[in-house]
Amino acid sequence: MDAILLQILNGIDKGSAYALIALGLTLVFGTLGVVNFAHGALFMLGAFCAVTLQKFLTLSKITIDPTRLDFLGKPAKIKTPYVEAWFGEAAGQAIINWSVPLAILFAIPVMFLVGVIMERGLIRHFYKRPHADQILVTFGLAIVLQEIIKAIYGANPIQMSAPDELQGVANMGAALGLKLSYPIWRIVYFCFAVVIIGSVFAFLKFTTFGMVVRAGMADRETVGLLGIDIDRRFTFMFGVAAAVAGVAGVMYTPINPPNYHWGMDFLVISFVVVVVGGMGSLGGAVLAGFMLGVLEAFASTTWATTTIPGINQIVIYLVAIIILLTLPRGLLGRKGVMEE
302 belongs to the binding site for other proteins (CB under 8 A): yes
Measured from the CB atom, the residue of 182 and 238 that comes closer to other proteins is 182
Among the residue ranges 88-96, 161-169, 195-203, 220-228, the one whose residues contact other proteins (CB under 8 A): 161-169
292 belongs to the binding site for other proteins (CB under 8 A): no
Among the residue ranges 44-52, 90-98, 104-112, 266-274, the one whose residues contact other proteins (CB under 8 A): 266-274
Q: Of the candidates 101, 324, 331, 334, which one interacts with other proteins according to CB under 8 A?
A: 324
172 belongs to the binding site for other proteins (CB under 8 A): no
Q: Evaluate whether 324 touches 271 at the Cβ level (below 8 Å).
A: no
Sign of torsion, CA 249 193 11 27? negative
Among the residue ranges 80-88, 100-108, 190-198, 311-319, the one whose residues contact other proteins (CB under 8 A): 311-319
136 belongs to the binding site for other proteins (CB under 8 A): yes
Q: How far is Cα 326 from Cα 330, in angstroms, rounded to an integer? A: 9
20 belongs to the binding site for other proteins (CB under 8 A): no
Using CB under 8 A as the binding rule, the residues of this chain from 57 to 116 that contact other proteins are 68, 70-72, 76
185 belongs to the binding site for other proteins (CB under 8 A): yes
Residue 181, CA distances (Å) to 6, 32, 176 in order: 8, 43, 12
Sign of torsion, CA 38 40 45 48? negative
Q: Of the candidates 127, 206, 209, 317, which one interacts with other proteins according to CB under 8 A?
A: 317
Among the residue ranges 132-140, 193-201, 213-221, 242-250, the one whose residues contact other proteins (CB under 8 A): 132-140
Among the residue ranges 104-112, 238-246, 283-291, 316-324, the one whose residues contact other proteins (CB under 8 A): 316-324
137 belongs to the binding site for other proteins (CB under 8 A): yes
| Closest separation in Å from C-beta 326 to other proteins | 10
Q: What are phi and psi of 123, to 5 degrees?
A: -60, -35
Q: Evaluate whether 277 touches 286 at the Cβ level (below 8 Å).
A: yes
Q: Of the candidates 3, 113, 194, 218, which one interacts with other proteins according to CB under 8 A?
A: 3
Residues 6+ apart with CB under 8 A from 94: none
| Closest separation in Å from C-beta 244 to other proteins | 21
Q: Of the candidates 181, 187, 212, 228, which one interacts with other proteins according to CB under 8 A?
A: 181
Question: Which stretch of DSSP H or E encloses residue 69?
Answer: strand 60-69
143 belongs to the binding site for other proteins (CB under 8 A): yes
Q: Where are the alpha helices (DSSP H) in 154-277?
A: 184-206, 208-218, 220-225, 230-252, 262-277
Q: Of the candidates 31, 271, 281, 282, which one interacts with other proteins according to CB under 8 A?
A: 271
Question: Which stretch of DSSP H or E encloses residue 112?
Answer: helix 99-121
Q: Of the candidates 59, 268, 307, 327, which one interacts with other proteins according to CB under 8 A?
A: 268
3-class secondary-structure state, position 154: coil
Measured from the CB atom, the residue of 35 and 102 that comes closer to other proteins is 35
Number of chain residues interacting with other proteins (CB under 8 A):
79
Residue 300, CA distances (Å) to 12, 18, 314, 323 in order: 13, 17, 11, 21
3-class secondary-structure state, position 226: coil
> Is 148 buried (19+), middle (13-18) or exposed (0-12) by CB count in 10 A?
middle
Among the residue ranges 52-60, 160-168, 221-229, 241-249, the one whose residues contact other proteins (CB under 8 A): 160-168
242 belongs to the binding site for other proteins (CB under 8 A): no
Q: Of the candidates 159, 199, 207, 222, which one interacts with other proteins according to CB under 8 A?
A: 159
| Closest separation in Å from C-beta 209 to other proteins | 28
3-class secondary-structure state, position 80: strand
Residue 12, CA distances (Å) to 15, 16, 110, 202, 290 in order: 5, 6, 28, 22, 6
